[in-house]
Structure 1
Amino acid sequence: MVIWHRKLKEYGQDIFIQAESLNRSNSSQVKRAISNLKELSRNGVEKVMREKKLDAILAPADTPVYTILAIGGYPGITVPAGYDEEGVPFGICFGGLRGSEPKLIGIAYSFEQATHIRRPPTFKS
């Protein structure tokens, strides 16, 4: 239990703790928030992807793209995209609309095959 509390402080879990504290007394607030997120998803990611006829959206993996995908219930896949000056890998995330998982896997696979960026990890002794 002590380790769990230390990790909460280390990684800043304020939003998680607030979400855990929600109860039935504010369920109307939760329902409004969910409804608002669904509306933002329909008028955001879905609208842009459909209007522009996009197969996927992409973003660096260390951006809030996961939050956007998760809120809308959209799939995403991350693959290696390169290495920084110290050799630390970073990724690229491909996201799509619901049901687009096969297409996203194909896009991610094609990216990996075209770039050959991934390399086996090495460990310093």
Structure 2
Amino acid sequence: MTKITIFPISTEQGETSYFATSGDKQSIGATAGEALDALTPQLEVEQSNTLVLLQNLRPDAYFTSEQMKKLSTLMQQWRKARDESQLVSQKVQSELEEMIEAELLASAARAAALANELGQ
């Protein structure tokens, strides 16, 4: 089964676009659906059997509102430093890495719960 990842990206104008990727194929759209539609023709015929799951990027039992706010704040600090050709402090970098790890673990837990639900 083909894996497609779609996630929001911020444009330089402060708007949100969506980036879709599957292997070495990529597309961008104004909506998640537009990004998916642009990616689909790039896939091989045998890759057409695809399950699409959309994460609404809202707090849930796996990644709380507080965690999302902290990650957002840390990412803003990191982007500001990057844009100014600077590095964030080691403390900020460590906190950011911890939050990314927490988000990754939440994603894995969410996927396991979904797999369990689909298996029933």
The TM-score normalised by the length of structure 2 is: 0.25
* Structure with bigger RCO (C-alpha 8 Å, 6+ apart): 1
Higher Cα radius of gyration: 1
The TM-score normalised by the length of structure 1 is: 0.24
